[in-house]
Amino acid sequence: MDVVTALDRLPKVELHCHVEGTMRPGTVVELAGKNGVELRTSDPTELYRYSNLDTFLEIFWLVQSTLGSREDWARLAYESIVDGAAHGLVYRETFFTPARHLDAGQDLADIVAGLAEGLAAAEGETGVRAMLIADIDRAYGAAAGLAMVKRLVELREGASPGAERVIGVGLDSTELGVDPTDFAEAFELAGKVGLRRTSHQGEETPPSHIWAGLDVLGSERIDHGLSSLQDPELTRRLAGERIPLTVCPNSNVVIANAVPRLELHPYRRMREAGLLATLNTDDPALTDLDLGREYQSCMEAFGYRWEDMVAIALDGVEATWLDESDKRELRARVEREAAKLAAELDPPR
């Protein structure tokens, strides 16, 4: 077995993947036609070219806009997990960002129920386990973010269908010109009711935004965190407290244009500094990517060995919000299957 195939089959966790960014191009076209969304082309992949995060978001929002009903969300979630499972995904904590749909009149209850239905169907078919993180869209402001969290609390307290799948809240969308501390009230409420917290910080912003994510928002993970190495004190804290960073190297090249080439990405330096930096795809359908290729391309770009990639996969398990029993079980599975794959490698590792 060659190492590319082995990496594709290696059991992997993903903690930074936006479900809307996994939508198949064919599904984009079908849902656009169904819901009256005009596309400039019959092949949406022609639109998938980005000069920075904000130009990417224009396309992301277009893809999002094709989701018009509970059934659409269910289809999206189902296909997302089926596609991930084909490349070694075994567990995912996946983002969804409903602000635009809520603003257009959709009910969060229907969105959550649809996503949960799709995830359950995919779990039954693939064995992959998946949970949800409700992301606040920075572009809609603090009031909308707080309203979303309040509604989510209502759904959880009322045992609304699928609400148990939502285990945390996050913060995404445009970073530039937005103060993360504006969302402190929403994050405080989320923490009070037992929701886990993470936030996109440091992709296009300085270390001060990562500090704010930790100390003001109470984030237990940081999504991206590229600028963390610019602040030695921050690096020491992240490493010392084992605060996970959900890094998306290929996305940082293709979407944010944060670095010109993958081999120039700081990922290897992040891990050498002791950071719990995991590997993730971010928006794989919008970047022609999958989790197996994320691992394979990073192995090549950073000069890693098979053992390094297994260690990264195991760090992904550590960074999850699973309970300790489930973590032990998943870690054992990764170690067991990694050993079998290593024995089949040519030459064996």
Q: Give the three-class secondary structure for 167.
A: strand
Would you call 208 exposed, middle or buried from its count of C-beta atoms within 10 A (0-12, 13-18, 19+)? middle
Q: Is the sign of the CA dihedral 302, 233, 237, 134 positive or negative?
A: negative
203 is catalytic: yes
Q: Give the three-class secondary structure for 305.
A: coil
Residue in 20, 79, 175, 203 annotated catalytic: 203
Q: Is the sign of the CA dihedral 135, 107, 115, 36 positive or negative?
A: negative
Among residues 291, 335, 299, which one has the least CA distance to residue 315? 335
Q: Give the three-class secondary structure for 131.
A: strand
Residues 6+ apart with CB under 8 A from 233: none
CA distance 260 to 54: 17
Q: Give the three-class secondary structure for 322.
A: coil
HEC readout, 214-267: HHCCCCCEEEECHHHHHCHHHHHHHHHCCCCEEECHHHHHHCCCCCCCHHHCCH
Active site positions, annotated: 203
